[in-house]
Structure 1
Amino acid sequence: MSDTHEHSVAFVRTTEIPQQTAPSSAAGPVKWMRDNLFATWPNALLTVAAFYVIYLVLSATLPWILGGLWTTSSLSECREVLQGRSAACFSVLTERWNQLLFGFKYPAELYWRPTLAFLLMFIALAPVLFFDLPRKLLIITGLFPFAAYWLIWGGTVWIPVFALVGFVAGYFVYARFVAQNFAAGFFGGIVAAAVVWYIGGFAVAALAPATPFLEAVPSRDLGGFMLNMMLGLTCVSLSIPLGIALALGRQSSMPLIKWICVIFIEFIRGVPLITLLFVASVMLSYFFPPDQTVDLFVRVVIMITLFSAAYIAEVIRGGLAALPKGQYEAADSLGLDYAQSMRLIILPQALKISIPGIVNIAVGLFKDTTLVSVISMFDMVGMIRGPILASTDWNGVYWELFGFAALLFFVVCYGISQYSQWLERRLATDHR
């Protein structure tokens, strides 16, 4: 009896069992493939078919890419070296990289200036894109457009200096009167900036001979991917605040302001961008005196900015409409005026809702900068279609050039898309 009683007592382990790895079917790559690629028979068949298509594409393109040549001086020499083999002739990229990036007229000895402006762009955008950085760094962001203008275009330093002074004067006038009346502060700031710029024009003419001077480069000499970047960054930066103003104006209780914004938005959205570019290239000159004109780059920036601002206005108006009425009532209950309620309560929430739509328009706008090639501005696509393919050395090279252009545009657009997704996750405070 005693032996039976002893063996019937439950055993309690006094040490832990060493931790074992999970079975391969319950964790790791095998589980991921089972859950995502082969969860059901239809999914398994689609996965196999997709892998087969990928295999066909890579088996045809990888030998062509990996067997490409980089050192020949012309297409005919490239074909002689290949001796009938099918491979890429990447030598056109090593021969014409400078034209693809900077255009064929920008002086080669001055490439350091747009390159430096490109590097400074990342420093200037950092305080805007990543708001955890100190707000004092926004001073660099504000100074960047004027420094970049001087680096790329050159000329006397007083042109960007007086342009900066005009913006500062306009801001101080706006800040002084906006609390009393939004319209008075807004238009007062514009008038103050215009007065400073008008006076600055005479001052530049007097001070230019005795000031720091970089070799001037006219706008007609700009080209390549540099021109696409300049148009994209400038137009996106200008169209967002203009789109916000148009969206607020369309919801204004003042009939005149509302209908001006409505007519402008509907007209711009009903006209193709290429038509507006032709207007900027040809017809705008008729609106100026015979002895005066506006730089083609500025005219193109104006038209692209107006075009994208109309679409951004509708996106932001959707964000404003998505806010519950209680948000507006909360702003009124706090005693905030119109400008304060929009800046502190309404617009931050509306812009957060509008991020996907704004980014979509920004990506489309950057790609649409290639349309300037139809008005004889040699951007990257214009360089490929014009001087490069027109030369006898590289006439017939298409896949390599357009593939390189597609790669650059993809890198920029993908970067914008990834940043927008990060920003959405960072601002998703209502789901925490």
Structure 2
Amino acid sequence: MTDQLATSFVRRELVPQRPAPVVTTGFVGFLRTRLFNSPMNAVLTIVSALLLGFILVPTVRFMLVDAVWQGQDRNACLPENVGRAVGACWPFVQAKLTQLIYGFYPEAERWRVNLIFLLAVVLLIPLLIPRLPAKTLNAGLFFLAFPVVAYFLLHGGGIRGFGFTWFADAALAVANSLVDAGRKLADLGEGRGLFGLLSIGIGKALVLFGSALAIPIAPFTWLRDAIQTSGQPVWADLVLTAIIVSLLLFLLNGGFRTGWRALLLSGITFIGIGLVVAAMGLDHGGLPVVDSRLYGGLLVTLVVSVTGIVASMPIGIALALGRRASIPLIRVFSIAFIEFWRGVPLITVLFFATYMLPLFLPGNFTVDGLLRVLIGIALFSGAYNAEVIRGGLQAIPRGQAEAANALGLSYWKTTGLVVLPQALRHVIPGLVNSFIALFKDTTLVLIVAIFDLLGSLRAAFADPVWATPTTLFTGFAFTGLIYFVFCFGMSRYSLFVERRLNAHRRH
């Protein structure tokens, strides 16, 4: 019986061959699993391919196939002269390339702009590569030394003094401004009743305070005048500033016990400053002065965007921390600042900084037009970055700060070493999104008569030598590619940073 049961379950025929497994790797596998794995996805794939073909084919045909690559004027890009349909007129871009990069910067001084671009690349690339060493020195050179060198290369001119003279001039200007404002306020209140008496009282108080402030400033102004009348005012001021700053750093960092490292670093820093001053001739007038109204093109776009990005980060961090502060005055000020700057459009900020701000300044005090725009954009972007960073701060559990406090860390060490690094890691996409938006919003400076890349392009369109039906589209296509390259580069680098910082969280 057992043998019969055993033999009854033995298969006497061969098993039919199974179908080959579905390919899930390679190009064919990608098509099957990603594009045509369901009827809906197949329809969407076909529709998307048709849309891409409808957009890409005419674009490639306009920019490459039907394009004109050589010519001296508009005649090279006219269909009746070429004998066919004409696409992009690239000779126009070649003829206006220097204007699109430098604007109206004097041709003989454009080597200064090229040197700035070279220095920026040399300092920025090592800073962006995580494996390279000396990040602290590199960051100090890029964020502190490079802006100063770039300013004197772009603007030209020299310096009359250094840190001590600047401090004395600023302190004296504040005292004189208080006295002048107090006198004007007191004169305004004459014969105006109760409010006039209040105005007179506040004005006299300002005059008294400004006069009292000028008394301790008097020795500094006397020493400033002595430095200015010396044979080498810049070097005398540099040496005096180096001595004062170095001694302060030496004493604040422990004096004879632990202050020698700070003293050495301070000395090296001032020696480097002296070498830069000597190399650029800043003590003898420096390079020829170039007015900021001559700046333009890609130069202005990079100056405005980089300055706005770099300056808005510390402003945004300070405002985000201030909005979460326990001190009511700081919290209210931060909230008011953020809501004010977020409540007005950037165009209004640019108009106010360019045309209305000079009305509120003293008569003998002027600020360069480009500098006013840079300050306005930095404050505007800082308010937006503050909310992005605050979102990251709220994502950090309270236990992180409590654990740091339990270990004896102060508020600043807890914030700088524990909370803020984690918060910034969380908000990298939002910050980079703000940076990209700021880079593209630099085109708005054209409204206040500053010619950025797009403004220089519009100025180039006014040249009748290159007036053709396709010149307009060619120019916008070229500038659009430039904006895309910069924005896409920032986006891809942010993804790289995200992957690197979140590597420990992978499972």
The TM-score, its normalising length taken from structure 1, stands at: 0.81
Q: Which residue of 1 aligns with 2:62?
A: 64
Q: Which residue of 1 aligns with 2:259?
A: none
Q: Give the superposition deviation at 1:59.
A: 3.0
Asked if 2 retains the 8 angstrom alpha-carbon contact of 1:158 and 1:208, the reply is no
Over 3 Å counting, the alpha-carbon distance change for 1:170 and 1:232 in structure 2 is farther
Pairing of 1:350-365 with structure 2 (within 5 A): 350-365=423-438
Q: Which residue of 2 aligns with 1:32?
A: 30
Q: Which residue of 1 aligns with 2:371?
A: 298
Over 3 Å counting, the alpha-carbon distance change for 1:318 and 1:168 in structure 2 is farther
Asked if 2 retains the 8 angstrom alpha-carbon contact of 1:146 and 1:160, the reply is no
Q: Which residue of 1 aligns with 2:141?
A: 140
Percent identity between the two aligned chains? 40
Q: Which residue of 1 aligns with 2:505?
A: 430
- C-alpha distance in 1, partners of 2:247/2:488? 38
Over 3 Å counting, the alpha-carbon distance change for 1:318 and 1:246 in structure 2 is same
Q: Which residue of 1 aligns with 2:72?
A: 73
Q: Which residue of 2 aligns with 1:420?
A: 494
Quote the RMSD (CA, aligned, Å).
3.2
Q: What number of residue pairs does the alignment pair up?
A: 384
Q: Which residue of 1 aligns with 2:49?
A: 51
Q: Which residue of 2 aligns with 1:334?
A: 407
Pairing of 1:17-416 with structure 2 (within 5 A): 25-66=23-64, 67-79=66-78, 80-83=80-83, 85-103=85-103, 105-135=104-134, 136-141=137-142, 142-156=144-158, 211=284, 213-385=286-458, 387-395=459-467, 397-416=471-490
- C-alpha distance in 2, partners of 1:171/1:353? 39
SS at match of 2:436: helix
1:35-72 deviations in whole A, cap 9, x for unaligned? Answer: 11111121112212222222232332322222211322
Over 3 Å counting, the alpha-carbon distance change for 1:90 and 1:287 in structure 2 is same
SS at match of 2:312: helix
Over 3 Å counting, the alpha-carbon distance change for 1:133 and 1:347 in structure 2 is same
- C-alpha distance in 2, partners of 1:255/1:157? 42
- C-alpha distance in 2, partners of 1:69/1:167? 60
- C-alpha distance in 2, partners of 1:312/1:170? 33
Q: Which 10-residue stretch deviates more, 47-56 or 343-352? A: 47-56
- C-alpha distance in 1, partners of 2:149/2:306? 15
Q: Which 10-residue stretch deviates more, 269-278 or 125-134? A: 125-134
Q: Give the superposition deviation at 1:101.
A: 0.9
Q: Which residue of 2 aligns with 1:15?
A: none
Q: Which amino acid aligns with 2:357?
A: L
Over 3 Å counting, the alpha-carbon distance change for 1:158 and 1:47 in structure 2 is farther
Over 3 Å counting, the alpha-carbon distance change for 1:97 and 1:422 in structure 2 is same
Over 3 Å counting, the alpha-carbon distance change for 1:174 and 1:401 in structure 2 is farther
The TM-score, its normalising length taken from structure 2, stands at: 0.69
- C-alpha distance in 2, partners of 1:329/1:41? 54
1:371-393 deviations in whole A, cap 9, x for unaligned? Answer: 000111011111122x2122212
Q: Give the superposition deviation at 1:76.
A: 4.1
Q: Which runs of 5+ in 1 are unaligned?
A: 1-21, 180-199
Over 3 Å counting, the alpha-carbon distance change for 1:94 and 1:159 in structure 2 is farther
Asked if 2 retains the 8 angstrom alpha-carbon contact of 1:178 and 1:339, the reply is no
Over 3 Å counting, the alpha-carbon distance change for 1:172 and 1:87 in structure 2 is farther
Q: Which residue of 1 aligns with 2:171?
A: none
1:166-210 deviations in whole A, cap 9, x for unaligned? Answer: 99999997998799xxxxxxxxxxxxxxxxxxxx9xxx9xx9785
Over 3 Å counting, the alpha-carbon distance change for 1:209 and 1:172 in structure 2 is closer
1:385-424 deviations in whole A, cap 9, x for unaligned? Answer: 2x21222123452111111111101100111111111111
Q: Give the superposition deviation at 1:84.
A: 5.1
Greater Rg over alpha carbons, structure? 2
**Hey, which bits of structure 1, 4+ residues long, moved more than 4 A?**
157-163, 165-179, 207-210
Q: Give the superposition deviation at 1:107.
A: 1.3
- C-alpha distance in 1, partners of 2:421/2:434? 19
Over 3 Å counting, the alpha-carbon distance change for 1:90 and 1:108 in structure 2 is same
- C-alpha distance in 2, partners of 1:338/1:354? 21
Q: Which amino acid aligns with 1:393?
A: V
Over 3 Å counting, the alpha-carbon distance change for 1:47 and 1:256 in structure 2 is same
